[in-house]
Amino acid sequence: MKKSFFAWVSVLACASALAQVSPVGLWKTIDDDSGKEKSLVRIKETNGVFSGTIEKLLDPTTKPDEVCDKCTDERKGKPVLGMTILRNLKQSADDKAIYDGGDIVDPNNGKVYRTRLKPVEDGKKLEMRGYIGPFYRTQVWLRVE
């Protein structure tokens, strides 16, 4: 009886260790150049597709009514606050710890990057990497909730 109990406890412990950490939640974005807090982004999942929207601006130099003048797609002239900056990400078929296939826009310069997300440190941090061709930028976002 004791052996079977410990066997089940071991199985449950292994199963929880193998569970994937999702990027769903509220994240504090940190600028990779300045190291300053920029915004709070909420990542949601709908039918296996992940997106992220700016919920709050943290940078005191950003005006609350700021619009994305440099965006070149349908977000041009739209308010940065409430903007969907992450779109169309899915869990990678090759590596279940990575979410990719979508894009992210940088409202400061209007550039759209292919993107990859990877939760790290048991989901406490999120590596967000944006690519244009062979060039990329990586930011580490901090989980708020």
By residue range, what is the domain housing residue 127? 21-143
Would 61 be classed as within a structural domain? yes
pLDDT at res. 46: 97
**DSSP run (H or E) holding 14:** helix 2-18
Would 96 be classed as within a structural domain? yes
pLDDT at res. 32: 84
3-state secondary structure of 11: helix
Sign of CA dihedral 53, 74, 58, 23: positive
Question: What's the CATH code of the domain at 56?
Answer: 2.40.128.520
Q: Which tokens belong to 35?
A: 């190291």
Output the CA–CA distances (angstroms, integers) from residue 117 to 60, 92, 98, 109, 133, in the order listed.
26, 10, 6, 21, 17
The tally of domains found in the chain comes to 1
pLDDT at res. 9: 41
How far apart (Å, rounded) are the C-alpha atoms in residues 114 and 102? 6
pTM of the model: 0.84
Would 109 be classed as within a structural domain? yes
Q: What is the mean pLDDT of each run of 10 residues along the chain (145 residues)?
A: 47 45 96 91 98 96 93 96 98 94 95 96 96 92 95
With vertex at residue 117, the alpha carbon angle to CA 113 and CA 119, rounded to the nearest 5 degrees, is 160
